Amino acid sequence: MKYTQEHEWLRAEGDIIVVGITEHATTQLGDIVFVELPETGTTVAKDDEVVVIESVKAASDIMAPIDGEIVEVNEALGDNPSLVNEDALGAGWFFKIKPSDPSQLDGYMDEAAYNSLIS
Amino acid sequence: MSELLHTALYDLHVELGAKMVPFAGYAMPVQYPMGVMQEHLHTRAKAGLFDVSHMGQVIVQGDSYDAAALALETLIPVDILGLGSDRQRYGFFTNDAGGMMDDLMLANRGDHVFVVVNAACKAADIAHMQANLTGVTVTEITDRALLALQGPAAETVLAALDPKAAEMRFMDVATLTLAGVECWVSRSGYTGEDGYEISAPAANATALAKQLLAHEDVAPIGLGARDSLRLEGGLCLYGHDIDTQTTPTTAALNWAIQKVRRTGGDRAGGFPGADTILAELAGGATTKRVGLLPQGRAPMREGIALFADETGATPIGTITSGGFGPTVGGPVAMGYLPTDLASNGTTVYGELRGKRLPLTVAPMPFTPANFKR
């Protein structure tokens, strides 16, 4: 598992990367009430805004951590956005992306580095 | 936060794990560990305790209640003289253009009018009264806290401290003895639920709050849930849904102006902006505050421009409050629209992140009011 400065997690499933946000992020955001996901098949560039999450407090953008193609999105969040609060690292995932340049992952933090960032 | 003012309950908020934020010059709890969503739902299901001590408590006293009431009627287009003893009423200060300078609660407490005003406006409100009222004294009460106990369990909880609480009806006021001290209590609030607002001596406020919180049905509730509760209740937030640019009629607050102050009434007019306000009461206004239900799941918040259709270039209105309604289970909003597009069921479009998303004009409150009338 890799982590970004923006509190996203990235988990490899074969050659696909699953992306979500950390429990620390969900705690900061509060109760999530809406998630707007990208369309499957969209080609995105690193730092593109690909997901909008709305908590009871405010809207936040989630950026694509790497270049690639969105190959699947978590449709369950449409009806049940609170999955992000309940299971941020599991059922609350946002999208799966097929990297066009896997070396972009190298710059991200491991769990120990991320834990020291948020501690 | 060292420059922020603290209410009498500040230490208790911190002890309860509140997240404190600046609000109208005060450090106030926006939420407790329960979180905004659960705090909101708890208030509607059981009872929530709110610290609203940042609001202004003011006594307006003349030779008699009637003298104080008549003086205030020169600034407020509401029947204050006719307010029964131990009764409370909603009102607002108006300006010469017919706009609203603040909204407030007025209570007939026998020999004086007890006024509760918004925190952000209280200094201006008090100066306004002191400058313009003759023959009365205007005294800000700074040694009392203000608590709100709201929700269906509020009556049971408060009546355990003083049984007289149960005898009060919606908008009654009374002096109760709670936790051994004299409290000025009204059966009202700003959540759309039954409940009470309690003015208690600041020195005793923490003890009273702890006694109320000791009841298993009572949880502390922050400003975050207070906002979503009042929004679902269709209640205006001053500075957002109403301000100096909105008139009572555009704000859909005609109900607050009794017949005696309208054209043809015994005390018609005689308040700032009367020409505009009375004309709009009789003939209507060109814009109107309405409830809005986004048709999708995305919350649509304050400031979002509204359009008549999916392509029109010119906005026709604006959302003034919006967010997720936990009891509704979806997004809710209110805003201003041209009166001819303000009928319930009309579809308008809000521009969110570059997309036009439909909203339906809908009646308020969005959740049924549970007042004990």
Of the residues B226, B257, B283, which one is the last residue of a structural domain? B283
Each residue of A31-41: pLDDT tens digit?
999 999 999 99
User: Which residues in chain A are contacts of B301 at CB distance < 8 A?
Assistant: 59
Rounded CA-CA distance A83/A77 in Å is 7
Rounded mean pLDDT, B3-7: 95
Of A31, A34, A56, the CB nearest to B298: A34
| B51, burial (CB in 10 Å: exposed 0-12, middle 13-18, buried 19+) | buried
Does residue B77 carry a pLDDT above 80? yes
Token pair listed for B34: 């329960």
Q: Give me the pLDDT at residue B66, please.
A: 98
Q: Kindly state whether residues B325 and B198 are assigned to the same domain.
A: no
Mean pLDDT of chain B, nearest integer: 97
CB contact under 8 A, A56 and B297: no
Token pair listed for B213: 């919180």
Is B333 touching A (CB cutoff 8 A)?
A: no
CB contact under 8 A, B324 and A57: no
Rounded mean pLDDT, B88-102: 98
User: Which residues in chain B are contacts of A78 at CB distance < 8 A?
Assistant: 297
CB contact under 8 A, B297 and A57: no
Of the residues B257, B283, B309, which one is the last residue of a structural domain? B283
Rounded CA-CA distance B17/B274 in Å is 48
- For residue B299, is the peptide bond before it cis, meaning its omega torsion is within 30 degrees of 0? no
Question: B300: Cβ–Cβ under 8 A, 6 or more apart, which residues?
Answer: B292, B294, B319, B322, B331, B333, B350, B352, B357, B359
Name residue B133's beta-bridge partners: none
Is B301 touching A (CB cutoff 8 A)?
A: yes
| Pairs of CB atoms within 8 A across A/B | 40
Q: Give me the pLDDT at residue B373, please.
A: 86
- pTM to 2 decimal places: 0.94
Rounded CA-CA distance B8/B205 in Å is 7
Looking at the structure of chain B, the number of domains it has is: 2
Q: Kindly state whether residues B72 and B124 are assigned to the same domain.
A: yes
Does residue B265 carry a pLDDT above 80? yes
Q: Kindly state whether residues B138 and B230 are assigned to the same domain.
A: yes
Is B314 part of a structural domain of the chain? Answer: yes
Q: Give me the pLDDT at residue B10, please.
A: 98
Of A30, A54, A56, the CB nearest to B298: A54
- For residue A103, count other CB atoms closer than 10 A to its CB: 8
Is B353 touching A (CB cutoff 8 A)?
A: yes
Each residue of B103-112: pLDDT tens digit?
999 999 999 9
Q: Give me the pLDDT at residue B282, please.
A: 97
Token pair listed for B249: 């009629």
- For residue A87, count other CB atoms closer than 10 A to its CB: 14
Phi-psi region of B5 (alpha: psi -120 to 50; beta: other; left: phi over 0): beta
Of the residues B283, B305, B339, which one is the last residue of a structural domain? B283
Compute φ and ψ for A33, nearest 5 degrees: -115, -10
CB contact under 8 A, B37 and A31: yes
DSSP string, B28-50: EEEE-TT-HHHHHHHHHHSEEEE
Which residue of A54, A84, A86 to mutate against B (max B Cβ within 10 Å)?
A54
Rounded mean pLDDT, B92-111: 98
SS3 label, residue B103: strand
Q: What CATH number is attached to the domain comprising B338?
A: 2.40.30.110
- C-alpha distance from B37 to closest chain A C-alpha (Å): 7
Q: What percent of chain B has pLDDT over 90?
A: 97
Q: Kindly state whether residues B264 and B171 are assigned to the same domain.
A: yes
- C-alpha distance from A52 to closest chain B C-alpha (Å): 10
Is B37 touching A (CB cutoff 8 A)?
A: yes
User: Which residues in chain B are contacts of A57 at CB distance < 8 A?
Assistant: 36, 224
Rounded mean pLDDT, B225-231: 98
Which residue of B36, B40, B321 to mutate against A (max A Cβ within 10 Å)?
B36
- Judging by DSSP bridges, how do beta strands B218-220 and B47-51 pair with one another? parallel
Q: Give me the pLDDT at residue B1, please.
A: 45
Q: Give me the pLDDT at residue B2, please.
A: 57
Q: Give me the pLDDT at residue A58, please.
A: 87
Q: What percent of chain B has pLDDT over 70?
A: 99
Is B324 touching A (CB cutoff 8 A)?
A: yes
Of B36, B297, B298, the CB nearest to A30: B36
CB-facing half-sphere around the CA of B347: CA atoms within 13 A: 7
Which regions in chain A score pLDDT beneath 70?
none
Which structural domain range is residue B327 located in? 286-367
For the domain bounded by A2-101, which CATH number is listed?
2.40.50.100
Q: Kindly state whether residues B102 and B25 are assigned to the same domain.
A: yes
Rounded mean pLDDT, B309-334: 96
Q: What angle do CA B353, B358, B361 make, to 5 degrees?
A: 125
- C-alpha distance from A2 to closest chain B C-alpha (Å): 29
With tokens 């509704």, the residue in question is B328
Give the ipTM. 0.85
- C-alpha distance from B106 to closest chain A C-alpha (Å): 32
CB contact under 8 A, B324 and A34: yes
Burial B122-136 (b: 16+ CB within 10 A, else e): beebbebbeeebeeb
Is B325 touching A (CB cutoff 8 A)?
A: no
Question: B290: Cβ–Cβ under 8 A, 6 or more apart, which residues?
Answer: B252, B334, B335, B336, B337, B342, B361, B362, B364
Is B373 part of a structural domain of the chain? Answer: no
- C-alpha distance from A40 to closest chain B C-alpha (Å): 19
Rounded CA-CA distance A80/A78 in Å is 6
Is B326 touching A (CB cutoff 8 A)?
A: yes
Rounded mean pLDDT, B326-337: 97
User: Which residues in chain A are contacts of B36 at CB distance < 8 A?
Assistant: 30-31, 56-57
Q: Give me the pLDDT at residue A88, please.
A: 97
Token pair listed for B187: 């059966």
Picking from B221, B319, B249, B315, the residue whose alpha carbon sits closest to that of residue B99 is: B249
Rounded mean pLDDT, B199-227: 98
Beta strands in chain A (DSSP E): 2-3, 8-13, 16-21, 32-36, 43-44, 49-55, 59-63, 68-73, 95-99
Task: With cut-offs at 50, 70 and 90, classify the pLDDT of residue B95.
Answer: very high
Task: With cut-offs at 50, 70 and 90, classify the pLDDT of residue B370.
Answer: confident
Rounded mean pLDDT, B46-50: 98
Is B372 part of a structural domain of the chain? Answer: no
Q: Give me the pLDDT at residue B161, please.
A: 97
DSSP letter assigned to residue A38: P
- C-alpha distance from A9 to closest chain B C-alpha (Å): 24
- Nearest C-alpha in B relative to A49: B353
Rounded CA-CA distance B163/B177 in Å is 10
Q: pLDDT higher for A57 or B92?
A: B92
Binding residues of B for substrate: 197
User: Which residues in chain B are contacts of A52 at CB distance < 8 A?
Assistant: 298, 353
Phi-psi region of B81 (alpha: psi -120 to 50; beta: other; left: phi over 0): alpha
- C-alpha distance from B355 to closest chain A C-alpha (Å): 12
Rounded CA-CA distance A6/A49 in Å is 12
- For residue B63, count other CB atoms closer than 10 A to its CB: 10
User: Which residues in chain A are contacts of B298 at CB distance < 8 A?
Assistant: 34, 36, 52, 54
Residue B147 contacts residue B13 (beta carbons within 8 Å): no
